[in-house]
Amino acid sequence: MNSSVNQQLILNLRSLPSMGRNDYFVSEVNKEAVSWLDSWPNWTTFGFIVCGPLGSGKSHLAQVLKTLSHGDIIEAKDISSKNIDQLSEKKCLIIENLESLTSETLLFHLYNMLLENKNNLMLTSKFNMSQINFELPDLKSRLLSMPQVNIDFPDDRLLKNLLIKQFLDKGILVEMDVIDYLIKRIDRSFEAISKLVAKIDFKSLEKAKKITIPFIKNTIKL
């Protein structure tokens, strides 16, 4: 195997996130969403909706629920007349990125089919349901009737755990002084954390340097 192919394999492996339930950290900003996972299959309602900003952990929640329920995940934009019958048979269906939906009518029918089959539904979205302008009144009323759980921007505890986890996902163990240094200087959003860790990882590989505070000061603009 030549060096360029080997390097690409290393980069690909380092980018694979750890997505198990034990890798999902709980704090005040996401504990309600996690409680839904931990209570499956004993939900008191048909399903729920998780709303939160890009990179907030919605997809991780979806993956955990998929594993727990032996269900399936689909992007809202990929729902079609060709797969709606098959999707309605899933014990638990997770529909990601509701804001990308292309057919409200298909989702309306799928919702009713899942409900009739006594299966469960989890939806994710960057926006609260009241912020999306649905054209189909019946679909809007059904979605607004579902429990909605909001994931907020990370608090200090979650921020620290997210940084540690994302470095570990790339096979990197950093000292706590580096984590503390970053926490005081980065934007407090999930998306910012993801981008920063990826940038630091890339620079450390490029320069073959250990990730330290001096390295970050000299390499990354914060």
pLDDT exceeds cutoff 60 at 200: yes
Question: Quick one: average pLDDT of 127-153?
Answer: 93
Average pLDDT, the chain: 87
Greater model confidence, 139 or 21: 139
* Region 42-70 average pLDDT: 90
The full DSSP string for 176-201 is HHHHHHHHTTS-SSHHHHHHHHHHHH
Segment 150-156 mean pLDDT: 83
Please give the model's pTM, rounded to 2 decimal places: 0.75
Can you give the residue ranges of every domain in the chain? 3-17+154-219, 30-150
The pLDDT confidence band at residue 13, using thresholds 50, 70 and 90, is: very low
Distance (Å) of CA 141 to CA 134, 144, 196? 10, 5, 39
* Residue 1: both structure tokens together: 């195997």
Contact (CB, 8 A) for 90 and 116:
no
If one compares 12 and 31, the residue with the highest pLDDT of the two is 31
Q: What is the CATH number of domain 30-150?
A: 3.40.50.300
List, for residues 81-115, the tens digit of each pLDDT value. 999 999 999 999 999 999 999 999 999 999 999 99
Paired with 130 in beta bridges are: none
- Cα first-last separation, the chain: 38
Of the pLDDT bands very low, low, confident and very high (cuts 50, 70, 90), residue 216 is: very high
pLDDT at 7: 43
Q: How confident is the model at residue 22 (pLDDT cuts 50, 70, 90)?
A: low
Task: Return d(Cα 209, Cα 140) in angstroms, integer.
Answer: 52
37 phi and psi, to 5 degrees? -60, -45
The answer for residues whose C-beta is within 8 angstroms of residue 74's C-beta and 6 or more apart is 83, 87, 93, 94, 95, 96
